[in-house]
Amino acid sequence: MKKSSVSERLVIGVTGSFGTGKSTVANFFAGLGARCIDADEIVHRLLSSRGRIYKKIIAQFGRGVLAIDGSIDREKLGKMVFANQLLLNKLNALIHPEVIRIIRKRIDAVKAGVLVLDAPLLIEAGLRPLVDVLVVVSLPRWLQIKRLQRKTNLSRSDIIKRIQAQLPLKNKISLAGYVIDNSGTRQKTKMQVVRIWKELTNK
C-alpha cells in the first residue's frame, strides 16, 4: 500500500453508495490534514452556472427542468433521470467528461501531501485510475434507507431508485483497499478514519 510523505502526493478516493456517509468520512480526513476535492460540489457548480453544460442539459431535457429563477432544479432533474436509466446515462454523458477534467486539473495542481477525492460515482465515472487508495464507506441497506428518509425529502421508492442507479455496494467493496463501516456512532467512524490515516502516512 502506497504511503505518503511530505515530498510526495497520495490521493485517497472515498466512495460508497447513496447516503452511506462519504462526505462525513472525507471531512474526517480533512480534519487530519488532507485537502479535499468534492465531486458533488463540482457538479453543483456546473449545474448552477449558465455555461456550456447548462445549455446542453436544457437542450437535452427541456426547460421543464428549470426553476422559476431559470436555474436548473436538481430535484426536478433528479426525478426525471432516476426514473429512466437511458436519461440518466445521457445526463452522465453530458456531465462526467467536464467533471473528470476539473478533477484531473485539481489533482495535478497538488504536488505533495494527502488529497482526498470524495466522489459517489468514482468507479462508475472512470475515476479509479486517478486515486492511489480506494476507501469505500459501507452501511446495511436498511440503515442507509432509514438515514436518507430522515435527512432528505425523497420517498422510499425514490431513494431505492437512486441506490439502484449506482454500482452495487458489494461490487465497490470488492475493489476497495479499505472499507469503513459507518453503521455506528460518528466517533467509531472517525476512529476507523484515523487508523487508515496513520497506516497510510506513517503518523
Q: What pLDDT digit, counting tens, does each position of 49-106 carry?
A: 888 999 999 999 999 999 999 899 999 999 999 999 999 999 999 999 999 999 999 9
Q: What domain range is 108 assigned to?
A: 9-41+99-201
Residue 145: CB partners within 8 Å, gap ≥ 6? 156, 159, 160, 163
Question: What pLDDT, on the 0 to 100 scale, is given for residue 3?
Answer: 53
DSSP output for 17-35: STTS-HHHHHHHHHHTT-E
Question: Could you tell me if residue 130 is inside a domain?
Answer: yes
Read off the pLDDT band of 125 (50, 70, 90).
Answer: very high
Lookup: cell for 4: 505518503
Does residue 195 belong to any structural domain of this protein?
Answer: yes
Say if 155 falls within a structural domain.
yes
For residue 114, tell me if it sits in a domain.
yes
Residue bearing cell 468534492: 38
**Is the residue at 184 inside a domain?**
yes
CATH number for position 167:
3.40.50.300
85 within a domain of the structure (yes/no):
no
Q: Determine contact, residues 107/37, Cβ cutoff 8 Å.
A: yes
This prediction has a pTM of 0.91
185 belongs to a structural domain: yes
The answer to the question of residue 146 being in a domain is: yes
User: pLDDT digit string (tens) for 161-196?
Assistant: 999 999 999 999 999 999 999 999 999 999 999 999
Average pLDDT across the chain, whole number: 93
pLDDT at residue number 48: 85
Count: domains in the chain: 1
Q: What pLDDT does residue 84 have?
A: 93
